[in-house]
């Protein structure tokens, strides 16, 4: 096996390269062109070629590292293809995605075999193996995990969206972004002259949408680009997606049931982060509720200061991988963007048991100008504020929009 290892590694890597070509150039996401995938496609191929060449020149023990890393990532890619095919049927690059399963399995077996054969006897063997095990753990945390997250973020499986009950009739709408993508949405007509965009999916936060509908607000539920019914390539960290929100704001402002530009937005998790960025850039977004915003690149991670140093290598790798796989530069820091939202009202909501850097909402609040509010829901998990305390959530969020868009006194 050791003598055949370079050939086996090259053959399995060729299957991974085939999927990269299909994903970027042969079967790009609906609404995108192959030219938009030059950086992800060519970047991935360049890395694969470099790894295959380097594999031939390193000693057998080190060869196990690229074999295992690429094997794990290939199996992840196969799993994403299977889930996508299960959700919406087999599409385009799902076929080559299925081939990643045998390629990943072969690479993992090759890595294990190379490790086993590279064992060294001697009195220090257990110390050496302990050191290798620790190095493997650190490598998994600093390299493998962020690469896996970046792959999942830019290859999110789509989901079917079945009809739902929103408390009042809604119409299916299609919005067009400034870069030509078509986005799928549902709209409930406004009864009070104001409308709210909820983002980033139609089906993600239906109780909150029903809450706003009960109070007379027009509600637009929108699938982000690359999500479910919308065109485009997905990015679960939201890089480059403010054009979706801009298109929604423009569409709502043209509605006859929306008066005097009374348009607000509520975003959850990555949607909350995008609401902050969109509000900083688009003054027509008159009021924003951001729930569960956190860290989306190394720029936010730096806000942790010295206590965040252990996570910086992970964030650096993840940010670089996202930039290559999405073909999009990292967005500005949310801390800097928060400073540009005032004088439009801002409500930041975060969970006491949140994830992904939600505690950074305190920094965003300090950076933002007035009027602003910060609400920590102590018993809540990530974006679970409504489920934790529906009554308080309704009073705070609806009261915020009533005051910001309708000029009413806020509710206690």
Rounded to whole angstroms, how far apart are CA atoms 116 and 108?
12
pLDDT value for 135: 82
How is residue 12 written in tokens?
A: 């399995």
Average pLDDT on 198-227 reads 97
pLDDT value for 3: 75
Of the ranges 101-105, 126-130, 236-240, 316-320, which one carries the lowest mean pLDDT score? 126-130
Indicate whether 133 pLDDT > 90: no
Of the ranges 72-76, 77-81, 407-411, which one carries the lowest mean pLDDT score? 407-411
How is residue 194 written in tokens?
A: 């104001």
Beta bridge partners of 376: 350
Indicate whether 125 pLDDT > 80: no
The domain ranges of the chain are: 5-119, 171-296+331-406
The residue to which tokens 């910086």 are assigned: 312
**Percent of the chain topping pLDDT 70:** 97
Rounded to whole angstroms, how far apart are CA atoms 212 and 232?
28
166-192 pLDDT, tens digit each = 999 999 999 999 999 999 999 999 999
Indicate whether 131 pLDDT > 80: no
Rounded to whole angstroms, how far apart are CA atoms 26 and 34?
7
Per-residue b or e along 169-180, where b marks 16 or more CB atoms closer than 10 Å to that residue's CB: ebeeeebebeee
57 Cβ neighbours under 8 A, 6+ residues apart: none
363-397 pLDDT, tens digit each = 999 999 999 999 999 999 999 999 999 999 999 99
pLDDT value for 410: 59
Rounded to whole angstroms, how far apart are CA atoms 202 and 393?
20
Respond yes or no on whether the N-terminal peptide bond of residue 371 is cis (omega within 30° of 0). Answer: yes
Tell which wins on pLDDT, 133 or 232: 232
Average pLDDT on 294-302 reads 95
> Beta strands 182-188 and 218-222: pairing type?
antiparallel
- Count CB atoms within 10 A of the CB of residue 211: 20
374 Cβ neighbours under 8 A, 6+ residues apart: 348, 350, 361, 362, 365
The SS3 assignment for 167 reads coil
pLDDT value for 229: 96
Average pLDDT on 43-48 reads 96
**Percent of the chain topping pLDDT 90:** 87
Q: List strand residue ranges (DSSP E) for 367-406, in order.
A: 372-381
Q: In which order are the strands placed within the sheet that holds 372-381? A: 171-176, 182-188, 218-222, 195-199, 263-268, 287-291, 346-353, 372-381
Rounded to whole angstroms, how far apart are CA atoms 97 and 108?
17
Of the ranges 38-52, 77-91, 117-131, 313-327, which one carries the lowest mean pLDDT score? 117-131
Rounded to whole angstroms, how far apart are CA atoms 159 and 84?
7
Average pLDDT over all residues of the chain: 94
319-363 pLDDT, tens digit each = 999 999 999 999 999 999 999 999 999 999 999 999 889 999 999
Rounded to whole angstroms, how far apart are CA atoms 340 and 282?
10
How is residue 250 written in tokens?
A: 């423009």
Average pLDDT on 273-290 reads 98
The residue to which tokens 């086996």 are assigned: 8
Confidence of residue 401 (pLDDT cuts 50, 70, 90): very high
Does the domain at 171-296+331-406 match CATH 3.40.50.1820? Answer given as yes
Kindly tell me the burial class for residue 29, based on how many C-beta atoms sit within 10 Å of its own C-beta (0-12, 13-18, 19 or more): buried
pLDDT value for 235: 96
96 Cβ neighbours under 8 A, 6+ residues apart: 15, 18, 19, 22, 23
pLDDT value for 115: 86
> Beta strands 263-268 and 195-199: pairing type?
parallel
Tell which wins on pLDDT, 262 or 92: 262
Torsion, Cα of 18, 37, 323, 321 (10° steps): 0
Indicate whether 124 pLDDT > 80: no
Rounded to whole angstroms, how far apart are CA atoms 294 and 356?
5
Rounded to whole angstroms, how far apart are CA atoms 184 and 163?
13
Phi then psi for residue 288, to 5 deg, are -135, 135
The SS3 assignment for 372 reads strand
pLDDT value for 232: 96
């Amino acid at each position: 096996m050791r003598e055949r290892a370079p050939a086996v590694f090259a053959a399995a890597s060729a299957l991974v390269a085939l999927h990269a070509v299909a994903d970027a150039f042969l079967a790009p996401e609906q609404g995108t062109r192959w030219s938009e995938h030059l950086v992800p496609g060519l970047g991935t191929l360049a890395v694969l070629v470099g790894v295959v060449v380097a594999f031939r020149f390193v000693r057998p023990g080190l060869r196990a590292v690229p074999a295992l890393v690429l094997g794990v990532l290939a199996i992840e890619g196969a799993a994403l293809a299977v889930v996508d095919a299960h959700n919406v049927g087999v599409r385009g690059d799902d076929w080559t995605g299925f081939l990643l399963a045998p390629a990943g399995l072969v690479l993992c077996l090759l890595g294990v075999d190379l490790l086993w054969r590279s064992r060294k006897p001697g009195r220090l063997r257990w110390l050496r193996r302990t050191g290798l095990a620790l190095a493997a753990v650190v490598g998994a945390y600093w390299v493998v995990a962020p690469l896996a997250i970046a792959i999942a973020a830019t290859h999110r499986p789509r989901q079917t969206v079945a009809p739902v009950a929103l408390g009042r009739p809604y119409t299916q709408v299609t919005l067009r972004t400034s870069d030509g993508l078509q986005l799928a949405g549902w709209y409930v007509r406004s009864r009070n002259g104001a409308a709210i965009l909820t983002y980033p999916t139609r089906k993600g936060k239906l109780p909150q949408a029903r809450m706003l509908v009960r109070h007379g607000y027009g509600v637009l539920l929108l699938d982000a680009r690359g999500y479910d019914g919308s065109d485009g390539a997905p990015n679960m960290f939201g890089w480059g997606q403010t054009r979706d929100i801009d298109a929604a704001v423009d569409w709502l402002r043209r509605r006859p049931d929306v008066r005097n530009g009374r348009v607000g937005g509520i975003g959850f998790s990555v949607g909350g982060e995008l609401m902050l960025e969109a509000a900083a850039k688009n003054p027509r977004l008159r009021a924003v509720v951001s729930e569960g915003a956190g860290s989306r690149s190394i720029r936010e991670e730096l806000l942790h200061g010295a206590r965040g140093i252990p996570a910086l290598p992970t964030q650096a790798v993840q940010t670089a991988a996202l930039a290559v796989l999405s073909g999009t530069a990292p967005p500005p820091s949310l801390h800097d963007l928060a400073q540009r939202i005032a004088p439009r009202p801002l409500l930041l909501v975060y969970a006491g048991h949140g994830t992904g850097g939600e505690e950074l909402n305190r920094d965003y609040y300090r950076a933002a100008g007035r009027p602003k509010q910060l609400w920590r829901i102590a018993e809540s998990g990530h974006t679970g504020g409504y489920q934790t305390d529906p009554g308080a959530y309704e009073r705070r969020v609806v009261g915020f929009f009533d005051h910001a868009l309708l000029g009413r006194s806020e509710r206690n």
